[in-house]
Amino acid sequence: MLVDTGCSRSIAHVSCCKAWKKGIVSMTTVSGEEWQCEGTGIVRLQLSGGAFTTVRVSVTAVKPLGFEFILGMDGIKALDGVTVDARNGVRFGVEKSEFCAAANTVVAVDERLPDYQAGPYTCSASNVEGDARSAPLNLTVNYAPVCENPPSGEPLKVYAAGVGRAVNTSCRVLASPPSVRFSWVFNNSVSSERLSGDQVFTMADGGSVAQFRPKMNQELGTLQCWAENTVGRMTVPCIFQVVPAGRPEAPTSCSVVNKTYDSLVVTCAASFDGGLRQNFSARVFESVTGMGQVNVTSHLPHFTFDGLTPGLDYLIEVMAHNELGASKPRHPGSLHVQDGREQNE
């Protein structure tokens, strides 16, 4: 954003006028003196592409000096920088974060104006008569969509269970205005394919879901989520790496959390699910005969074994399962269930 000297020139000239006025800046001559109050009433905003647009400026001067800065538009694009030709110690700031420009200096912020700089702006100035601050001006920064959770160098992974099986991938973006249009593209080493409309759905929260179905086992690659609003199309898409799903890994860190004369409660930690929803199974069998006593299934790796025969040694076996198969079995160890006589000794 480039705020040219039209704004600050108007402010500076208002400060020397004895006829305190409010309204669009105009040529004013104070009777009997050489001073003039002059201003164009225009602030020029330079967009990141180099083009200029203009907005209306209104100046208020009351004793002590004060003024208002009004942007006559719904919002401005995220821009490349801020330049202020400041005179008479004019201040520009966002809420509590201000930068002060000394008289007749230029302050340049050579960064892209991010969306977090949207919000109330105030302008203040000082002279020998005192200080003044304008009423807050709410500034809306419009910007093209960006990924809500940008990856830290690596694409997010989504897992394909097999040929023809749907891979549902959700994409959320931040944008102003928030109304966006989504499109999805699948890329691999062989081809690039745009997903059709019947494969893309809009979520209630404004995000997008793509339902991608691999056509062959070797079809691995990346899904690119693109979004566009009235400001423009996002410059970097949200990227998801499509990788093959597999069987889960066995639960770990199993321990007995409760034991009675005929029952056991065992809890474990879930391992990698292979990229698919998993559930768990466990069985208890006699360590000497190998005869199974109790089988348990669960959505969580927590198991309760009831009805055990007291006085025997048992082995526990736990496994994880998904639609592609089961993990290798995990054997936490052998356990002895006491009978009544052992408990009384």
State the residue for tokens 């891979």.
167
Which residues are paired to 335 by β-bridges? 314
- Enumerate the H helices of the chain as residue ranges: 5-14, 340-344
Q: Tell me if residue 86 falls in helix, strand or coil.
A: strand
Confidence category of residue 190, pLDDT binned at 50, 70, 90: confident
Q: For position 31, what pLDDT does the model report?
A: 31
List, for residues 324-343, the tens digit of each pLDDT value. 899 999 988 766 666 544 44
- Distance between CA atoms of residues 299 and 279, nearest Å: 5
CATH 2.60.40.10 is right for the domain spanning 252-344: yes
Average pLDDT over residues 220-249: 88
Q: Would you kindly state where each structural domain of the chain is located, as residue ranges? A: 5-139, 144-244, 252-344
Q: Two tokens at 145?
A: 């969509």
What is the average pLDDT value for the chain, to the nearest integer? Answer: 66
Higher pLDDT, 30 or 159: 159
> CATH topology of 144-244 equal to that of 252-344?
yes
> Could you tell me which of 142, 137, 342 has the C-alpha nearest to residue 228?
142
- CATH class belonging to 144-244: mainly beta
d(CA 234, CA 172): 12
Using CA atoms, how far residue 84 sits from 6, 11, 109, 202, 282, in Å, is 10, 12, 9, 43, 71
Q: What is the pLDDT of residue 181?
A: 94
Band the pLDDT of 218: cuts 50, 70, 90. Answer: low
What is the pLDDT at residue 298? 93
Checking if the pLDDT of 174 tops 80, the result is yes
Q: Show Cβ contacts of residue 190 under 8 Å, excluding neighbours closer than 6 positions.
A: none
C-alpha to C-alpha distance for 176 and 114, rounded to whole angstroms = 11
| Distance, CA of 67 to chain centre | 37
d(CA 297, CA 320): 10
pLDDT at 158: 77
Report strand pairing: 238-244 vs 156-160: parallel
Please state, in angstroms and rounded to a whole number, the distance separating the CA atoms of residues 280 and 294.
Answer: 14
